[in-house]
Amino acid sequence: MRYSRQELVLGKKGQKKLERARIAIVGLGAVGSVATELAARAGIGSITLFDRDRIELTNLQRQTLYTEKEVGFPKAEVAEKKLREINSEIEIQAMITDINHKNISELLADSDLILDCTDNLYTRFLINDFSRKAGIPWIYAACVSDHGNVMLTAKETPCFRCTFQEVEGLESCDTAGILNTTSHIIAALSVHECIRYLTGSFNEQQLFHLTGMRVSAIHTVKDKRCPACNGNLEYLSGKKEKSIIEYQCSNLYKLFQENIDLPALQKKWKKIGNVKGNDNCLFFKNLSVFKNGRILIKAKNIEDAKSTIAKYIGN
């Protein structure tokens, strides 16, 4: 009886397909925390959750799975407990971990579909490249301010790298803000595409703009030069990473990033805090950013350093 209303749309066979499916959800923030609840309520049989962050007070405006009493606790741990209370009939597993080029194969290889709700392009390209190599479909879901994107990539479609370039300096929720309505709509669209794919049909990329209520679709084509489609990505062997955060000393981490735009960073940081520096370097919160691309991050651990980069640098 739990899925009787849903079966009127999907049919009993469609519901059975969901109950047999295994998905991984990477990132339990604005989109991921909502998407994982929808996936659990829909009866997707096995859901594995991945997130490295803890709940912050600023998350509660849009991450409706969490409450005030859970501030400071790991998102993955809280989400697992909540989902077990929502649907005890499905398998839920949560991992408080950072997915990287060394562990991605071990963590995601058993999935029928990967739902990407992360906050940075590096992880998205990593998921894309792994998924292309492993033949596992994945859904890209992202939003900021009042707009967002959803895109499903499978073996029969162009991949994420065919469609997007590896750019830097993009806005994040911490620098551009976000409406909770936007993240909920994008989460719903991503799970909708997940259900459609697992039961037999899917769409290409969907772009949603809350202002003016515009929804548009982008039809993409495969890029013959795409290294992911051609299997020319050495770092997936686990031996080499394109851009890596290195530990220096005294909780200081170093990263080199090309094409740093200091004036652009200064402009967006001024909206949310005090920025110091000059034409050659900027200092903001626990970040020091230099014109030549060198970035220093004061952080408790590498996961905290990556979170800082995602929040304030944008990649």
* Tens digit of each residue's pLDDT (9 = 90 or more) over 198-255: 998 655 555 555 556 566 676 777 787 788 887 777 656 554 445 567 776 667 888 8
Centre a 10 Å sphere on the Cβ of residue 231 and count the other Cβ atoms it contains. 11
Question: Does a structural domain hold residue 238?
Answer: no
* Claim to verify: residue 161 and residue 32 sit in the same structural domain: yes
pLDDT of residue 132: 92
> Rounded CA gap, 22 and 216, in Å?
29
Residue 236 lies in a domain: no
Q: What is the CATH number of the domain that holds 122?
A: 3.40.50.720
Same domain, residue pair 168 and 190: yes
How far apart are alpha carbons 190 and 242 in whole angstroms?
29
In a domain, 237, yes or no: no
- In a shared domain, residues 305 and 220: no
Question: Is residue 206 located within the same domain as residue 250?
Answer: no
Domain match, 261 and 195 both: no
pLDDT for the residue 240 = 47
Domain limits for position 261: 243-312
Q: How many domains does the chain have?
A: 2
Provide the pLDDT for residue 190: 94
Asked if residue 223 and residue 152 are part of one domain, the reply reads yes
Instruction: Evaluate whether residue 235 is within a structural domain.
Output: no
Query: Which residues touch 129 (CB under 8 Å, ≥6 apart)?
Result: 161, 228, 233, 236
Residues 288 and 143 in one domain: no
Please give the backbone phi and psi of residue 254, each rounded to the nearest 5 degrees, phi first.
-125, 140
Same domain? 191 vs 288: no
**Which of 195, 230, 265 is the endpoint of a domain?**
230
Residue 61 placed within a domain: yes
62 lies in some domain: yes
Give every residue of the chain whose pLDDT is below 50, as ranges.
239-241
Global pTM value: 0.73
Instruction: Please count the other Cβ atoms lying within 10 Å of the Cβ belonging to residue 230.
Output: 11
Do 165 and 271 fall within a single domain?
Answer: no
pLDDT at residue number 48: 98
Pairing between β-strand 287-290 and β-strand 281-284 as defined by DSSP bridges: antiparallel
**E strands in 88-137:** 91-96, 113-116
Same domain, 308 and 269: yes
Residue 22's pLDDT is what? 98
Do residue 222 and residue 256 come from a single domain? no
- 189, 27, 34, 183: which is closest to 120 by C-alpha? 27
| Same domain as 15, residue 143 | yes
Instruction: Point out the domain boundary residue: 230, 252, 283.
Output: 230
Domain boundary (172, 203, 230) is at 230
